[in-house]
Amino acid sequence: MPLEDRTARLTVLIDPRKKALLERICAEQDTTPSQVVRQLIRRYIEDQTGTPWTPAESDAFERPRKRR
């Protein structure tokens, strides 16, 4: 999968114990919490839309279409 543009920030408030456990598990799996959250978001989008996520599809949601 091609890399996506990573320019938007999402702030999530979670219980400090969950954060610590997430960070520990991520370290054990050689990943980061950000990577896990991005994966969960992609999976949720795919579940809701019924189609695989591709970065090109995001253009339709980010930019309003021009009227002719």
Q: Which residues of 24-36 are buried (b: 16+ CB within 10 A; e: fewer)?
A: eeeeeeeeeeeee
Q: 58 versus 22: which is more confidently predicted?
A: 22
Q: What is the pTM of this model?
A: 0.70
Q: Give 38-56 pLDDT, tens digit per residue.
A: 999 999 999 999 999 887 7
Q: How confident is residue 59, by pLDDT bands cut at 50, 70 and 90? A: low
Give ∠ CA 57-8-48 in degrees, rounded to 5. 45
Decide if pLDDT at 68 tops 80. Answer: no
* Helical residues (DSSP H) of the chain, grouped into ranges: 16-28, 33-49, 58-62
Structure confidence at residue 7 (pLDDT): 76
Q: Give 1-28 pLDDT, tens digit per residue.
A: 556 676 788 999 999 999 999 999 999 9
